[in-house]
A = this chain, B = another copy of it.
Amino acid sequence: MDSGPVFRALADPVRRSLLDSLRERGGQTLGELCLGHAMSRQAVTKHLNILEAANLVVSERRGRERLHHLNPVPIQEIADRWIGRFQRAPLRALADLKQTLETPDEQN
């Protein structure tokens, strides 16, 4: 399995927002996902295609609509196989820890 597509899929804020939306409520249709994302339906479709190519989203056709679900497995795998490599990395550059820790929070 190649994590490259997963990283690239996660690089876009719109796609991260779509993942958040599907995490909160699975089974959303394309139309539902378009609400709340100020862009054309086709743009959202493209983002969803990229997410599906990375296996982060799976979809099933039901009648005339398509239901989308989050698949958290690739994120898990990145956490386990890739991030784990850095968790025991030596923290040589302590100078920037200050800056890193004293800056507030975010959502995305």
Task: Give A contacts to B, CB under 8 Å.
Answer: 1-4, 7-8, 10-11, 13, 16, 19-20, 23, 26-27, 55, 58, 60, 69-79, 81-83, 85-87, 89-93, 95-97, 99-100, 103-106, 108
Copies of this chain present in the complex amount to 2
Q: A73–B91 contact, CB under 8 A?
A: yes
Q: A93–B76 contact, CB under 8 A?
A: no
Majority secondary structure of chain A interface residues (helix, strand, loop or mixed): helix
Q: B74–A100 contact, CB under 8 A?
A: yes
A-B residue pairs in contact (CB < 8 Å), sample of 9: A1-B100, A1-B104, A7-B11, A55-B99, A60-B95, A72-B91, A76-B87, A79-B87, A83-B83
Can you name the residue of chain B whose Cβ is closest to the Cβ of A102? B1
